[in-house]
Structure 1
């Protein structure tokens, strides 16, 4: 039954009618903002799902909830006024999921240990939660335990008895000073830990994925078990990874906001498939690519100290993304990446030329934007199968490839390329349906576009020196935007929506409708 977003209270007269629905299985009271206490629930003997999330004024769950023996799922998330749970919750013998996210609860009742079928317990964002009872160790079916942003100083040692636990997330629990012995069956562990060392038995836990976030005092990671496949390290500011041979089985390595890491030596990570480094401002060098024959993805974001990426033998590389690496001068070795499918270079202001590529048969995405010192992209003429070309913010760009060579090119966008004075071959491009030339201050004229028979959308905005566009009257344009081109004169175009002073919001809305694949910048 759907009663969400209602103004009902516990005194609402309609409750008596609802209680006659003896076979009711779902009761959704989401966002009932005036409900301060749940009604007597004992009549709902068949109820399986009870949702009370975002009931801002809910202060009490009626003890009668213990009589709803059929309940499988209980969601109390975002009930900020709820300070405690009734002990009768422990009588919900069939309960599988208990969601307490962003509630005001101070402690979890000891009766929770009776929930032998509980598989998931989530208490994320419970900023008043100060204690987890030792009875939690009796939850023999628990697979997922998530606690975050709670002022917990410790966890009960009984957590080691959670024989079914696979997923443990202890994030932003900044008062947590130590970890007890952990269950041996964990496959995922994310922890914020304020000690210089991890537990001694840590290397004995066969987790497949390990996450460390906000471990401010952690200086090193002990040897991981042989099954560990993923390592994610975030905001561990003292952590140094000098030797990575202890992670020889890793398939995915992600480091973010780790200011002490200056070099990564990947030479021992023979099985690595994905490498991600973000906001590591002091990362200068990534070494040891020679042995990474299985590496498929490299993502480097906001690593402002790195100036060269040298990629000698990466036969399997499919994706390379470099974003906001201001000192990155060049990328070497991409000519050997014959199976590269996506190359994104954005806001890398020191890049002056595109890397050599030999993968134009496989390349599907090429995104080069906001590279302010990039001078030319003529080498793109080898990428003749692309369908969409998007170049923006390359302020030093002077030369473009000849567009007439791109027989499948449907969309061409060039924005804020201040040095470009001409677009070679655009008048001979027979496949173009969309052209966007915005903020190109040096552009004074465009060639005769009458040969662009398929052109439907033409955007020429803020090109102050542009005075003429020939051939428009011979096209079947649907949309023409010449906003900000004060010197431009055009003929009468019956059947075309012409915008001379298009408001930004109106333009963006329309733009989203007419070009949906813009995120693939070159395709």
Structure 2
């Protein structure tokens, strides 16, 4: 498009990037902040504020419609946007007669009629989304067209407008996204300049027309979201310039990959996701420039051909979700491979040849149970940075893993490993070590040599004691020992000067060493409430999670706390004095059954702004409705409102966000009228809820999300609101849905989703 408009794309893009006006993503797409886009459009508006006909681009549909009424020449206009039109909107040829220099035209939902001969001679980019199935324009010969976007249109392969497309000899990009009436691609044999063909979301597309072999310059073919497609045609092998093929989701129907696929000598990316392919042709070895091959969730794929080893340029191979039970030995010849993912596959053996992958940086084998051992050659992966495995049958690591001196992340979950080799300490670059498994009972003393280790997780293990060298992990920032069998935490933990996060919930520790409260950087602490009497001495602790099961009395808490989460507090538990928690702004309770007398002490929390209550007593739920300083309240779960099945929020005058979920006994919500600052309301799975009180005074309310409230009959006050989005789903008794639909038509808000509701 840049070249077609006589711009130097390399220089122009370089200037925009250097000025931070645009960003190019890893997928070679432009990203631009909305503010910059709006700024650019405002600059164009100021070209001639009072006379749109003298501007170069018209972004406003309203102004564009006004221009159509003017008979004077609009030769300055090069770009024109007409959106939010309806299917019965007809644009006649004479309305375009003054736009002789138009290069960019965007129409959404319109029908063109009349004789367009000699009109729009300079048009380069034509977006005609949601165009009708009948083509009423004549002599629309867009010979200079470069980009054509017909996405979400009602056209078929027999659409009369394809004649217009065939005349566009310079067409480089054709976007047919969401054209669900297409069952076959049209004849594109005359469009041999085409470089991008996008058919994403064409749900009924079953066939690729044989004329695709004429598209010898095609570089990008997008067939994602085409569940009716049964394969690629043999003719695709003629596309020697093709660089990228994207296919996904044909819902279990057989999918054919032709032998000619091996002729695509320029192909660099092939993604076949969720297609029922049972065989990869041997010819795949001919894809000498293929860098990325992903076949995620191709559940019929059980084997790979030996010719896979001929993919000399391959950098990324993803076979996650396939039926593969083994890799061919030839995989060891993929010397440029950097990432190998076999997640959710049925791999039961890793070949010895894997040691040949000298540039491999990531190996991931997650969520399967077949592998019992790893070959010694795993230690030859000198470039490996990340090793991640969830293998329930894996019983040991070979000593050779110590040779993985560049490894930074080792994650082993749900294995049968009982212990780790002493060579673990030789992994001098290791930064994260995450281990779980009910058989793991010890760490080697060499773990203390991991001088760069910042994250260590040993949750759900049988480890009872930590090695003497544990205190040498001076760089450790994150330590998670939760749900392990650990009985003693060594004093040396207090010497880990960088430690900021410590998780000990569910351990067998009876008393914690006093040294941990001297850790100057400790900010996040999660533990059982026993044995932490000295926690008040912590000087920087900001986030605290306490499991209080069986506790009779909670210790005094440090004044630095900002977020406090309490679990399993009973009616017999004595709560601490909260008056020193002057910084606390968020308080969470889960499975807590507190009485009114226990809750009175919370009233001193003047800075409290957020409460999260999950499956707690009715007293606690009702008490939260009295905390007038709250700006956010979430109440999730609970069957404890039977005595008084209503909630009154009228005292929460500062509330901005309210979430109510899975309150089965809740029948009525009151007091919403008083919540003038409420901006977001979410209600779900409240099976007894019949009415939501008056929302008419909640003038700042922008988002409403209500799902699966089967008895809900009425939502009052909606006619007074100016919402941004609303979603109502699974509320079969709501009676004022028609009112919502009318307001959507009036344009009062942008988003409306209503499903399975009574009309």
Per-residue CA distance 1:83-133 (angstroms, 9 max, x = gap) = 431122222222221112332222322222222221111223333323322
Instruction: Report matched runs for 1:126-141 at 5 Å.
Output: 126-141=298-313
Q: Does 1:190 align with 2:371?
A: no
> Contact (CA 8 Å) 2:459, 2:481: kept in 1 or not?
yes
Choose which of 165, 180, 185 in structure 1 pairs with 2:353.
Answer: 180
In 2, the alpha carbon distance for the partners of 1:474 and 1:92 equals 68
Q: Distance in 1 between matches of 2:603 and 2:374?
A: 65
Q: What's the CA shift for 1:70?
A: 3.0
Provide the residue aligned with 2:207 in structure 1: 37
Alpha-carbon distance, 1:418 to partner = 2.8
| Alpha-carbon distance, 1:200 to partner | 3.5
Q: Is the 8 A contact 1:153 1:177 kept in 2?
A: no
TM-score by length of 2: 0.55
1:391 to 552, 562, 566: 566
Measured after TM superposition, the shift of residue 241 of structure 1 is 2.0
Residue 405, structure 1, aligned to residue 405, structure 2? no
User: Partner of 1:104 in structure 2?
Assistant: 276
Deviation for aligned residue 1:396: 6.0
Is the 2:518–2:538 Cα contact (8 Å) retained in structure 1? no
Partner SS state of residue 298, structure 1: strand
1:431 and 2:607 aligned = yes
- In the other structure, the counterpart of 1:121 is 293
- Which residue number corresponds to residue 220 of structure 1? 397
**Which residue number corresponds to residue 367 of structure 1?**
545
CA distance in 1 between counterparts of 2:674 and 2:621 reads 27
Asked if 1:87 corresponds to 2:264, the answer is no
**Alpha-carbon distance between aligned partners in 1 of 2:659 and 2:438, rounded to the nearest angstrom:** 46
SS of corresponding position for 2:317:
strand
- 1:352 is aligned, of 530, 536, 558, to 530
SS of residue matched to 1:382: coil
Specify the alignment match of 1:318 in structure 2: 500
Secondary structure class of the residue paired with 1:50: strand
Deviation at 1:81, TM superposition (A): 2.6
1:145-174 per-residue CA deviation (whole Å, 9 max, x = no partner) reads 122344445433332222211112234333
- Conserved in 2, the CA contact under 8 Å of 1:154 and 1:179? no
* In 2, Cα distance between equivalents of 1:359 and 1:51: 60
CA RMSD of the aligned region, Å? 4.4
Q: 1:199 to 1:317 in 2, by over 3 A?
A: same
Q: Any residues of structure 2 matched to 1:229-378 within 5 Å, and which?
A: 229-238=408-417, 240-241=419-420, 243=422, 245-249=424-428, 250-256=430-436, 258-265=437-444, 266-280=447-461, 282-287=462-467, 288-303=469-484, 305-310=485-490, 311-322=493-504, 325=506, 327=508, 329-332=510-513, 333-345=515-527, 351-354=529-532, 356-357=534-535, 362-368=540-546, 370-378=547-555
1:190-228: CA deviations, max 9, x gaps?
347956543343322212222343262543322322222
> 1:414-425, aligned counterparts within 5 Å?
414=589, 416-419=591-594, 421-423=597-599
Point out which structure has higher relative CO (alpha carbons under 8 A, 6+ apart).
Answer: 1
1:380 aligns with 2:561: no
Q: Could you tell me how far 1:270 is from its partner in structure 2?
A: 3.3
The answer for the alignment partner of 2:712 in structure 1 is none
- Deviation of 1:21 after TM superposition, in Å, equals 5.4
Would you say how many aligned residue pairs link Structure 1 and Structure 2? 486
Provide the C-alpha distance between the structure 2 equivalents of 1:195 and 1:453, rounded to a whole number of angstroms: 57
Match of 2:334 in 1: 162
Question: Shift of residue 297 of structure 1?
Answer: 1.0
Larger CA Rg, structure 1 vs 2 = 2
Greater helix percent: which structure?
A: 2
Q: 1:403 to 1:148 in 2, by over 3 A?
A: same
- Deviation string, structure 1 residues 279-328 (Cα, Å, up to 9, x no partner): 43x3434334211111111224543x3444443422111222345x3645
Gaps of at least 5 residues in structure 1 are: 467-471, 511-523
Q: Where does residue 519 of structure 1 map in the other structure?
A: none
**Which whole-Å CA distance do the structure 2 matches of 1:238 and 1:317 have between them?**
27
Q: 1:174 to 1:435 in 2, by over 3 A?
A: closer
Aligned-pair CA distance for 1:23:
4.9
- Whether 2:3 is the aligned partner of 1:3: answer no
Q: Taking structure 1 as the reference length, what is the TM-score of the superposition?
A: 0.76
1-structure distance, mates of 2:313, 2:417:
37
Is the 1:169–1:190 Cα contact (8 Å) retained in structure 2?
A: yes
Ranges in structure 2 where 5+ consecutive residues have no aligned partner: 1-173, 693-703, 707-759
In structure 1, distance between residues paired with 2:583 and 2:225? 51
CA–CA separation in structure 2 for the residues paired with 1:428 and 1:42: 76
Structure 2 Cα separation of the partners of residues 7 and 277 of structure 1: 51
Q: Aligned-pair distance for 1:32?
A: 3.2
Cα distance change of structure 1 residues 404 and 121 upon mapping to structure 2, 3 Å threshold: same
- Alpha-carbon shift at residue 50 of structure 1 (Å): 1.9
